[in-house]
Structures are given as structure tokens and as C-alpha cells.
């Protein structure tokens, strides 16, 4: 669909948090069981180590709690929980139900699955809820890909990992931070990246790579254009953390210097729904954003989905 500009009632991010399981798996650890090398993994993907462990609900509760605390909100004040995940703890109910209960939220809760683009989808949906009257929303992106990875398959095992990132969105009078958004999907490419129920991830890495750059650039450009923001006005790009070479190629084609990209994949690996919020939180905690800065979030994933959003940082609730 075409990228869409935002109407009158918007939202700002007032709190954020992240969670990584304590267990670190290095490239050297993987070399013990796989025909691979630290050099190959770093050169081809940019990943040095990753965190593995925990459940989607446990990690979500940790990042969600941090975000609520930072926003200074009591759980009872939240109007909705939107959890992006491809790796729910159960088929039914949605993992958001477990998280809602554990955090003591008294509100509607649902999961969104748009693979690695999911956090931007969830953020967009949350803005839609704000536009129709919700005031405070907790948006979480979490995946535990280690549970659906074949640890004997060197094509995928060196890439995927676990993590969670969360933000609190609060309504404001006026337009808020979100300037424009875009969500896309091409279901005809489903066979390139999938996991059967109870199975492990199958991926045509080369073809996913090729398409990833194209659809990230396409989605990013659509949102930038709808926002009226040029590439050189982007202070920070927060891309899906799949492969540093994909990020470099996408930045180059978007005309955004790589120094403006938020990257965490060297220590997180590819955490799917968590990757964009983990990178955003890392950049925020490092003080990389100031009021008025334009931020481009852009992801791609199985499905093949793509999503982007342009935020103008700052605002007072």
C-alpha cells in the first residue's frame, strides 16, 4: 500500500527497555559443533556473538517492565499491549496474554506477526489505536528464534538469536512523533523464508539478501517521501539487524551515511521482532538522539514483509 501521512492525534515514546538472555554464544562456541569460522561469520554477517535463552513472555516482561518504569506509569494506566512476535510461547493464547498478566496490565492485549518487520507493524497499529482514542500503549517486540533454529544448520544457526525491546507510547494533542509509515508484504515469496509448525527455519539466504536490500530501500523511501524528509535530514536510521552487509547496502542506496545507522547485531545476532527496538534502545541509551532529530525505522522479513516509519524525536506529553 502507499505510505501514509499522519492525521491530527499522535503519540510520543515516553519510555523504553530491552532484554537479552544472560547466556552468550560466541562464534567460537558455534565452531565447536558447526563447520564454520569466526572469520566467515563476522565477514559475511557482522555477528560476533548472540544471546540465547528464555521464553518470549519472560523476555517481554523484562523489557516491558523497564519501559513502564521509565515512563513512570502504573500498569493499570496502560490501555493496550501490542506484542510483535514470530515465536509465541503457545499457539493459543497469544503470548501477550501471559505478558499482560505478569505485568499486571488491565487492558486488551494481542500479538502481531509480521516476522522481522513486526515491531514497525506493531508500532503502526498502536498509533492507529491512539488515533481512535487509546492514550497509553505498551509496544513490545520479542523473539526467541533459538527455539526454531536448527543448530546443526550452518546456514541459519550462525545468524539467529533471542531478545526483546519495548516502548511506551502516549497520546498527545497534535501530530506526535510519527510523521509517516509504510507496511508492505509479498506473500508470493513465502518459500524463501519459513518455519513449519513445530519445525525449524528454512531460508534461501542469497535470495533473501537480494530482496531485502530492495524492499528496505523501497519502503524507507516511501516513508521518507510521505514525511517530507530527505535522506540527508535523517539523523538516525534504525534498520532490521539481519546482516551488516544488508544494512550497508540499504544505507548506501538510501543515501544515508552508515555512521548514522544504529547497529547492535554484532552482539545480538538477528533477533527478528526485537532487532529494531533493541537497536533503537541502544541508540537512545547512548544519547544519540536529540529533540527534533528525524529517525527512520526500517525492516524486512519473512512473508516477505517490509515496514518503515519516520519519527521526529521529542515532544512533551
Active site residues: 116, 240, 270
Choices 50-58, 123-131, 206-214, 309-317; region in contact with ligand UT7 by CB under 6 A: 206-214
Q: Is the dihedral of CA 142, 144, 150, 152 positive or negative?
A: positive
Among 93, 108, 175, 205, binds ligand UT7 (CB under 6 A): 205
The binding track of 20-59 with respect to ligand UT7, each residue x by CB under 6 A or -, is ----------------x---x---xx--------------
Under rule CB under 6 A, which residues in 245-304 are in contact with ligand UT7? 246, 270, 301
- Alpha carbons 182 and 204: distance in angstroms, whole number: 25
When CB distances to ligand UT7 are compared, the closest residue is 205
Among 68, 97, 109, 158, binds ligand UT7 (CB under 6 A): 158
Among 147, 154, 202, 214, binds ligand UT7 (CB under 6 A): 154
Q: Which residue has the cell 561469520?
A: 41
| Most distant CA atoms of the chain, gap in Å | 56
Q: Is the separation of the CB atoms in 269 and 149 below 8 Å?
A: no
Q: Judged by CB under 6 A, does residue 141 bind ligand UT7? A: no
Strand 178-185 and strand 24-26: pairing? unpaired
- Alpha carbons 143 and 201: distance in angstroms, whole number: 13
Task: Using alpha carbons, select from 165, 5, 245 the residue that is nearest to residue 261.
Answer: 245
Contacts of 207 (CB under 8 A, 6+ apart): 192
Which spans of this chain sit near ligand UT7 (rule: CB under 6 A)?
36, 40, 44-45, 116, 154-155, 158, 193, 203, 205-206, 208-209, 212, 242-243, 246, 270, 301
Amino acid at each position: 500500500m502507499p505510505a501514509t501521512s499522519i492525521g491530527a492525534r499522535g503519540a510520543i515514546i515516553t519510555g523504553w527497555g530491552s532484554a537479552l538472555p544472560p547466556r552468550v554464544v560466541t562464534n567460537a562456541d558455534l565452531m565447536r559443533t558447526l563447520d564454520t569460522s569466526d572469520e566467515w561469520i563476522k565477514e559475511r554477517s557482522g555477528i560476533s556473538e548472540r544471546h540465547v535463552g528464555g521464553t518470549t513472555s519472560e523476555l517481554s516482561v523484562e523489557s516491558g517492565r523497564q519501559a513502564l518504569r521509565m515512563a513512570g506509569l502504573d500498569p493499570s494506566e496502560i490501555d493496550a499491549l501490542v506484542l510483535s512476535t514470530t515465536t509465541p510461547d503457545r499457539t493459543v493464547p497469544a503470548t501477550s496474554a501471559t505478558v499482560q498478566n505478569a505485568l499486571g496490565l488491565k487492558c486488551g492485549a494481542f500479538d502481531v506477526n509480521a516476522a522481522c518487520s513486526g515491531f514497525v507493524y506493531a508500532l503502526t497499529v498502536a498509533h492507529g489505536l491512539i488515533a481512535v482514542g487509546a492514550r497509553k500503549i505498551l509496544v513490545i517486540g520479542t523473539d526467541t528464534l533459538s527455539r526454531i533454529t536448527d543448530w546443526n544448520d550452518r546456514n541459519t544457526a550462525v545468524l539467529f538469536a533471542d531478545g526483546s525491546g519495548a516502548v511506551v507510547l502516549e497520546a498527545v494533542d497534535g501530530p506526535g512523533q510519527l510523521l509517516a509509515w509504510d507496511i508492505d508484504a509479498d506473500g508470493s515469496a513465502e518459500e524463501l523464508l519459513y518455519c513449519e509448525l513445530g519445525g525449524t527455519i528454512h531460508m534461501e539466504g542469497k535470495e533473501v539478501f537480494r530482496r531485502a536490500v530492495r524492499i528496505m530501500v523501497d519502503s524507507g523511501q516511501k516513508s521518507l517521501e510521505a514525511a517530507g524528509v530527505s535522506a540527508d535530514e535523517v539523523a538516525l536510521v534504525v534498520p532490521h539487524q539481519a546482516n551488516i552487509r544488508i544494512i550497508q547496502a540499504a544505507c548506501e542506496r538510501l543515501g544515508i551515511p552508515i555512521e548514522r545507522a544504529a547497529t547492535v547485531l554484532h552482539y545480538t545476532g538477528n533477533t527478528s521482532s526485537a532487532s529494531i527496538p533493541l537497536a533503537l534502545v541502544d541508540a537512545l541509551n547512548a544519547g544519540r538522539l536529540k529533540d527534533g532529530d528525524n529517525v527512520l525505522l526500517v525492516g524486512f522479513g519473512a512473508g516477505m514483509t517490509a515496514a518503515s516509519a519516520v519519527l521526529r524525536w521529542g515532544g512533551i506529553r
